[in-house]
């Protein structure tokens, strides 16, 4: 089943659900039953084989074929029984909270349960995600019985005041409420049953049973997922209705919007600011002690408006059963969603009572333990950047354009949003109006505050630098496709930049084709790394223990001569080809240089003589 057919079937299921929900649910139930029917058929086949072969053995016919048939039947019977006894007991990423730890939280959950006449929450866990979720754990497989788990993220509790946080909990509780949710759980267990049969007993087998099962699963699996898509999405809408009924429509809508905006702020701004403390702190600093104060504050107005605009632009797709924000608030009766009039200012840690401090300390210690090595590396990286800034600033007015831009780039790393960095970029443009990195820095710095000037910088970048055309087009379209009440719909500009994006994509495709068809070391010459870039590269190479030696070359591209391309050849202690490819791909992602970086195993690309002739001595040698 190809993707287009999958999308069509999923959309058809949504239409069927909208036209006649009851009939749609019945059709899903019958289709889900096919999963059990196949397993039951396997059981029946196994029993039939045993009924046929065992009497032959008891009759004294101990032929090899009968013995093998009995073993095959017993194996099929055991695998089928395992598949029917599905136990959804996934490990929980979090720590268990008891009523003694947080009595107010459990009282609130009990009040929600009584008001919606829902099942009890048996276990509550606390983790470090900006999220909350509920799941059912089946005790006895398809024979019935389940326990309900609620997982709550501590950052979410810090971000929302009690009424809005309870609206989130009511939404999660809504997934357990009503007959349709029991049907959803049954459907999910059905899918897991036949998947377990396939994975555990027949995934790597070439027996006739396995071949038949694999053929069935290839046909059944995508169709089942597509047919049940509307049911999963409808479940989200109904859970929102439960929250609105219990806490009020306004609170439910405000909770959805504030959750969306603060989640964006948490992922981008909070962690950025927290890691910047490594400039002055050599050892890791726990984030959660400071998180409560920051998350309880309203986000910056410009950021909040931008985050809401971005969220409202999203379109629901069949790749995720969760509806987008616009669809969720529309289903609650709000057609023109806006930012909350009042943001949360206290959070909901009061629900944890006196144990709140204990949990903050627990997650701080755990975070510091797991991030100690990365923090130390980041501290060293920022110290190198700081030292380089001081070195460049010592040059004063004699600094070159490139040094002005390098200083500005490093200052943005040390202090994002720095006005001093913008000043340096401007000084660089006064001396070289087409300096590409200065144009990029100013375009990024003015995207939120002055979109008109941002587009001017991108226009200049497009006109003068083929290397950066695709980046400029994508950034311009990101801005132009953002609705802004103070400007008319930029139809002509959108048309122009979309055409430019196509041009840029075609140019990048030519670069990729050249890299694929030409030897990696063709047109290679010694690298042009600065001392600072060399130190940064060595720091990354040192992190990867399997890298024993490394060489660096610069490659000239015919399709884009101005594109700076660096080839890093590594000698690895690993012999597995898949492991080599994965490590090289990781290195390409980690190396942050102003260039296109290609990483490859040295022994696959060049002989020792070629390496010595083209690259000279290795740039990195790991000491034993």
Give pLDDT tens digits for 344-374. 999 999 999 989 999 999 999 999 999 999 9
Tell me the sheet residues that pair with 549.
Answer: 571, 621
pLDDT tier for residue 272 given thresholds of 50, 70 and 90? very high
Check whether 520 has a pLDDT greater than 60: yes
CA proximity to 305, closest of 482, 453, 493: 482
Check whether 567 has a pLDDT greater than 50: yes
Report pLDDT digits (tens) over 145-176.
567 889 999 999 999 999 999 999 999 888 87
pLDDT of amino acid 192: 52
Contacts 24+ apart (CB under 8 A), 496-504: 497/473, 498/473, 500/462, 500/469, 500/472, 500/473, 500/476, 501/470, 501/473, 501/474, 501/477, 503/469, 503/473, 504/469, 504/470, 504/471, 504/472, 504/473, 504/474
Q: Across residues 435-463, what is the average pLDDT?
A: 91
Q: Across residues 110-128, what is the average pLDDT?
A: 89
Spatial CB neighbours of 56, under 8 Å, sequence gap ≥ 6? 63, 66
- Whole-number Å distance between alpha carbons of 363 and 97: 13
Tokens linked to 104: 């107010």
Please tell me which of 60-64, 297-301, 320-324 the model is most confident about, judged by mean pLDDT: 297-301
Check whether 199 has a pLDDT greater than 70: no
pLDDT of amino acid 194: 53
- Whole-number Å distance between alpha carbons of 562 and 466: 8
Instruction: Count Cβ neighbours within 10 Å for each residue of 352-378 and write b for 16 or more, e otherwise.
Output: beebbeebbebbbeebeeebeeebeeb
pLDDT of amino acid 201: 47
pLDDT of amino acid 48: 86
527 neighbors 566 (Cβ within 8 angstroms): yes
Report pLDDT digits (tens) over 301-344.
888 988 898 888 888 887 777 889 999 999 998 888 899 999 99
Q: Across residues 58-74, what is the average pLDDT?
A: 70
Check whether 242 has a pLDDT greater than 80: yes
Residue 148's SS3 state is strand
Residue 562's SS3 state is coil
CATH of domain 524-621: 3.30.460.10
pLDDT tier for residue 186 given thresholds of 50, 70 and 90? low
Check whether 32 has a pLDDT greater than 90: no
Check whether 487 has a pLDDT greater than 70: no
Is 396-517's fold the same as 524-621's?
no
Q: Domain map of the chain by residue range?
A: 3-88+195-238, 396-517, 524-621
Of 30-39, 135-144, 240-249, where does mean pLDDT reach its minimum?
A: 135-144
Provide the whole-model pTM. 0.81
Backbone phi, psi, residue 127, to 5°: -135, -170
pLDDT tier for residue 193 given thresholds of 50, 70 and 90? low
Q: Across residues 604-620, what is the average pLDDT?
A: 88
Check whether 459 has a pLDDT greater than 60: yes
Q: Across residues 548-557, what is the average pLDDT?
A: 94
Of 244-253, 316-325, 491-500, 523-532, where does mean pLDDT reach its minimum?
A: 316-325
Task: Give the fold, CATH level 3, of 396-517.
Answer: 1.25.40
Quick one: residue 94, left, alpha or beta (phi over 0 = left, psi -120 to 50 = alpha)?
left
461 neighbors 443 (Cβ within 8 angstroms): yes
Residue with tokens 């290839």: 218
């Amino acid at each position: 089943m190809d993707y287009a057919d999958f999308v069509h079937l999923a959309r058809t299921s949504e239409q069927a659900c909208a036209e006649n929900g009851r009939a749609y649910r019945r059709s899903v139930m019958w289709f889900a039953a096919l999963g059990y029917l196949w397993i039951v058929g396997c059981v029946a086949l196994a029993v039939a084989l045993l009924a046929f072969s065992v009497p032959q053995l008891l009759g004294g016919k101990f032929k090899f074929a009968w013995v093998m048939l009995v073993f095959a039947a017993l194996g099929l019977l055991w695998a089928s029984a395992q598949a029917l006894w599905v136990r959804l007991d996934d490990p929980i990423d979090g720590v268990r909270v008891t009523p003694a730890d947080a009595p107010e939280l459990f009282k609130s959950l009990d009040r929600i349960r009584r008001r919606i006449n829902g099942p009890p929450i048996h276990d509550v866990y606390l983790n470090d995600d900006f999220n909350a979720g509920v799941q059912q754990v089946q005790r006895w497989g398809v024979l019935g019985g389940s326990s309900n788990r609620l997982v709550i993220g501590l950052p979410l509790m810090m971000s929302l005041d009690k009424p809005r946080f309870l609206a989130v909990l009511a939404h999660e509780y809504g997934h357990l409420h009503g007959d349709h949710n029991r049907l959803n759980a049954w459907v999910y267990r059905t899918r897991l049953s036949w998947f377990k049969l396939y994975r555990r007993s027949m995934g790597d087998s070439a027996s006739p049973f396995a071949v038949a099962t694999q053929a069935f699963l290839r046909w059944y699996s995508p169709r089942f997922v597509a047919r049940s898509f509307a049911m999963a999405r409808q479940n989200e809408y109904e859970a929102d209705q439960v929250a609105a009924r219990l806490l009020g429509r306004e609170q439910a809508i405000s909770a959805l919007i504030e959750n969306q905006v603060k989640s964006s702020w948490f992922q981008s701004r909070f962690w950025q600011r927290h890691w910047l403390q490594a400039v002055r702190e050599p050892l890791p600093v726990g984030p959660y002690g400071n998180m409560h104060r920051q998350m309880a504050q309203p986000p910056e107005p410009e950021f909040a408006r931008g985050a809401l605009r971005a969220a409202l632009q999203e379109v629901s797709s069949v790749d995720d059963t969760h509806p987008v924000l616009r669809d969720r608030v529309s289903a609650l009766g709000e057609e023109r969603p806006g930012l909350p009039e009042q943001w949360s200012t206290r959070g909901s840690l009061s629900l944890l009572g006196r144990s709140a401090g204990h949990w903050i300390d627990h997650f701080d210690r755990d975070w510091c333990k797991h991030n100690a090595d990365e923090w130390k590396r980041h501290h060293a990286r920022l110290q190198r950047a700081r030292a380089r800034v001081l070195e460049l600033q010592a040059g004063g007015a004699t600094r070159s354009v490139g040094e002005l831009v390098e200083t500005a780039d490093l200052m943005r790393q040390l202090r994002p949003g720095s006005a001093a960095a913008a000043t340096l970029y401007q000084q660089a443009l006064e001396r070289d109006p087409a300096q590409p990195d200065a144009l990029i820095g100013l375009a990024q710095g003015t995207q939120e505050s002055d979109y008109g000037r941002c587009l001017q910088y991108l226009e200049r970048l497009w006109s003068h630098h083929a290397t950066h055309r695709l980046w400029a087009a994508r950034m311009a379209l990101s801005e132009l496709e953002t609705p802004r009440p103070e400007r008319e719909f930029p139809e002509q500009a959108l048309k122009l930049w979309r055409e430019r994006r196509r041009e840029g994509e075609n140019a990048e495709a030519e670069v990729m084709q050249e890299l694929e068809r030409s030897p990696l070391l063709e047109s290679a010459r010694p690298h042009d790394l600065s001392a600072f870039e060399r130190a940064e590269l060595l720091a990354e190479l040192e992190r990867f223990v399997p890298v024993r030696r490394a060489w660096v070359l610069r490659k000239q591209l015919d399709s884009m001569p101005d594109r700076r391309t660096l080839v890093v050849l590594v000698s690895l202690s690993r012999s597995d080809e898949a492991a080599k490819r994965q490590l090289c791909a990781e290195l390409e992602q980690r190396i942050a240089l102003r260039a296109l970086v290609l990483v490859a195993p040295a022994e696959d690309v060049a002989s020792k003589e070629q390496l010595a002739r083209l690259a000279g001595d290795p740039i990195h040698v790991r000491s034993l």
